[in-house]
Chains A and B, each alone.
Chain A
Amino acid sequence: MNTQFKKGVLEMCILALLKKHDMYGFELVSQVSRHVDMSEGTVYPLMKRLMDEALLTTYLAESPSGPPRKYYHLTDKGARAGEALLGEWRSFCRHVEDLLEGAQA
């Protein structure tokens, strides 16, 4: 699949996952790569970009095991960007479905 397209989808997935609750890096990355067949290394640079665009912020919190964890938190701007991307994604999928059904009929 086209890499740029996949990156866009991955960004949306990151934003959607963080809508529920804050996650630390390893947790977030393994959640994404569990569903999307892409190496975890693809996700980290995207998280960095989302932070630079102020869609995410981070904070440190104690962990039950080992050193403090870095948690990722969705900003208001990030939540809005996530909604917008999700809307685009849904309408894109609907159009593709329509097209496929039309092609089969």
Chain B
Amino acid sequence: MTRNEYIRELASALTALPRAGRREVLDDIARHFDDGAAQGLGEAELCRQLGAAKALADGYLEEHAARTGKAVRTRGPWSGFWAALGLCFINLIIVLPVYLGLLGAYAGLVASAFAMALGGFAAAGLGAALLVVPTLIAYTGNPLVALLGGIGVCALGLLFLLLLWHLGRWFFRATGRYIQANRNVIQGRRDAR
């Protein structure tokens, strides 16, 4: 392990300390590496002598907890359970109905866009067929209008489908983020990495 790796690991294990205290610890350990190197010791050897960065961090966190009179991690064994219960309630009563509503609206929009594309395609096909064989069905309108209009409607439907596809991707990514946020709350992480 290199000096930089060690200090990075130590820093990430000390996030619970106040900023100034953390800065000071990292400073002290950086000095340790400086002076060790001046004595001709390699980075790997210095890391080994210091012991695991996690253990060193735990030592500092323990001292900090003893001094401030409270544990750095204030969560009791049941807090995860209560957080899960609370979230379950909120999700069932508020989030789920809204979510299902949005999902339903989305499905409706997709179905309409699909129907538009399909209907337009059928109309265009029929228009084209009438241009070739005018006596195919009893149709008094202009087959050219049916063809061009059908193509237009079909293109519009396809455009809607494309837009909806992007919207859907965003929607499902947002769902994933929401689930991750829930998980963080239950496990007591303040910020997701």
Contacts and interface: CB of A to CB of B under 8 A. Distances in A.
Q: Do A and B form a real pair?
A: yes
Contacts of B27: 70
A67 B29 CA distance: 13
By secondary structure, the B interface counts as helix
A25 B32 CA distance: 7
A59 interface: no
A29 to B, nearest CB: 7
Interface residues of B, number: 25
Nearest to B58: A45
Given A26-B32, A48-B25, A66 B51 contact: no
Most buried by B among A24, A30, A33: A30
B31 A25 contact: yes
A83 interface: no
Main secondary structure, interface of A, reads helix
Interface residues of A, number: 23
A50 to B, nearest CB: 10
Interface stretch (B33-41, B85-93, B100-108, B119-127): B33-41
Q: Would you list the 7 A-B pairs with minimal beta carbon distance, nearest first?
A: A39-B51, A45-B59, A26-B35, A41-B56, A41-B51, A65-B38, A41-B50
30 contacts: A24-B31, A25-B28, A25-B32, A25-B35, A26-B32, A27-B35, A30-B49, A39-B55, A40-B32, A40-B51, A41-B50, A41-B52, A41-B59, A44-B25, A44-B28, A44-B56, A44-B60, A45-B59, A45-B60, A45-B63, A48-B60, A48-B63, A49-B63, A49-B67, A52-B63, A63-B35, A65-B38, A66-B35, A66-B37, A67-B34
Interface of A: 24-27, 29-30, 33, 39-42, 44-46, 48-49, 52, 63, 65-67, 69-70
